[in-house]
Structure 1
Amino acid sequence: MTLDWEFHPLVGERVTLDLLRPDDLDDLAALQGDPDVCRYLLYETRSREQVAEILERDAAATRLAAKGDYLQPAIRSETGRFIGTMYFELHSVEDRTAEIGWILAPHAQGHGYATEAARLLLALAFDELGLHRVQAELDPRNTASVRMCERLGMRHEGHFVEHMWLKGEWTDTGHYALLEREWQAARGSEIAPRSDA
């Protein structure tokens, strides 16, 4: 496993994961202040002042070396426009595990941007860092995130009923995960020649 990783932009075909910048404040505040976006998140809508503090904190998260280290990079479109954020946290160095998450602006949803961004982080996790397992936890009512986990090849491992008291109600938690060997097998099948070719 290769740790003590310092952030560098992760570039895909249509999206780039890059550090948050001060000029992202308006877009990030709109995202985290939107009740529909925050509906299935662990926090209520945030004020512009709260988002400014979070932006400063998360922009400084640039290193993965120990349990609890995290990244919260911006997702940027082909034109460099801010369209959301990814989340990646080391859960255990010894067990080589991490958690992944995402938030995408409503205008950017339905185009595969979040899936591409998540694949960039999974490639980092498995191909560069040598992690064994990456998991995602979500509210099962968030069907878009459930479908994304499925597109990423993540396995549905559990459904915890009324798992937490959140925003005035008991909410369930869904658990999804992907192992390094599953990631490598899926990548191998993507590049293997088709038998009908």
Structure 2
Amino acid sequence: MADTVIETPRLRLRPHRASDYAAALALWQEPDVFRHITGQPIGAEDQWHRVMRFIGHWTAFGYGMFLVEDKATGQMLGEIGLADFHRGLGPDFDGAPEAAWVLGPWAHGQGIAREGMEAVLAWAHARMGAVRIVSMITPLNEASVGLARRLGFEAVRTASYRERPIITFERTLG
């Protein structure tokens, strides 16, 4: 599955490679990227571990996070996909594939996250059938909350993750 590639009219979504480390590190230095997610930039060592974890997801689960590229230019736009992060949020969240998306500020406001996530969800439905997908988003990230709703996710509950407020969402494919 590590060779899975999804293409949309504008995007190429592919699993991460070790060679994506520098681009992923640069992405996570952008304040508009980390502001609502980690609250701080991701350091070099932690970013390396993220890329390795993303690569490992494909082997362990047959799904994972995709690196999003602009088909016309090859520029990295962000990361979109499904993962199992074992967040410790309880049985109504943990164990289900978690939808996640993050784009660089150069890709905001162009419908790229929606285009990419719609393609990922269609791919996941074809591969996994009627499966429950979860997501978590800070309520301050209004753009992502709105996208989750447009993608068919429904808010389940509010919670706290790493001392930050979140809303958990769910949607069943199919």
**The TM-score by the shorter chain falls in which range?**
0.7 to 0.9
The 1:6/1:55 distance shift into structure 2, 3 A limit, reads closer
Measured after TM superposition, the shift of residue 76 of structure 1 is: 0.9
Measured after TM superposition, the shift of residue 180 of structure 1 is: 2.4
Give the conservation status (yes or no) of the 8 Å contact 1:12–1:120: yes
Any gaps of 5 or more consecutive residues in structure 2? none
SS at match of 1:119: helix
Give the conservation status (yes or no) of the 8 Å contact 2:30–2:104: no
Figure out how many residues of one structure are paired with residues of the other and give that number.
165
Map of 2:78 onto structure 1: 84
One-letter amino acid of the structure 1 residue matched with residue 169 of structure 2: Y
User: What does 1:70-109 align with in structure 2 at a 5 Å threshold?
Assistant: 71-79=64-72, 80-90=74-84, 97-109=96-108
* Identity level (%): 23
Map of 1:177 onto structure 2: 170
One-letter amino acid of the structure 2 residue matched with residue 142 of structure 1: N
2: CA distance between counterparts of 1:45 and 1:165?
A: 15
RMSD: 2.6
The answer to whether residue 51 in structure 2 is matched with residue 55 in structure 1 is: yes
User: What does 1:100-139 align with in structure 2 at a 5 Å threshold?
Assistant: 100-139=99-138
The answer to whether residue 143 in structure 2 is matched with residue 147 in structure 1 is: no
SS at match of 2:4: coil
Measured after TM superposition, the shift of residue 53 of structure 1 is: 4.1
2: CA distance between counterparts of 1:81 and 1:60?
A: 23
One-letter amino acid of the structure 1 residue matched with residue 43 of structure 2: S
One-letter amino acid of the structure 1 residue matched with residue 150 of structure 2: R
Offset from partner CA, 1:150-183 (integer Å, 9 cap, x none): 22121122223xx2443xxxx32112221124xx
Give the conservation status (yes or no) of the 8 Å contact 1:135–1:175: yes
1: CA distance between counterparts of 2:157 and 2:50?
A: 31
SS at match of 1:63: helix
Any gaps of 5 or more consecutive residues in structure 1? 182-197
Give the conservation status (yes or no) of the 8 Å contact 1:156–1:174: yes
2: CA distance between counterparts of 1:151 and 1:21?
A: 30
SS at match of 2:123: helix
The answer to whether residue 30 in structure 2 is matched with residue 34 in structure 1 is: yes
Give the conservation status (yes or no) of the 8 Å contact 1:7–1:63: no
One-letter amino acid of the structure 2 residue matched with residue 41 of structure 1: I
Measured after TM superposition, the shift of residue 88 of structure 1 is: 0.9
One-letter amino acid of the structure 2 residue matched with residue 83 of structure 1: L
1:14 corresponds, among 10, 14, 20, to: 10
One-letter amino acid of the structure 1 residue matched with residue 12 of structure 2: T
2: CA distance between counterparts of 1:117 and 1:40?
A: 20
Rg larger in structure: 1
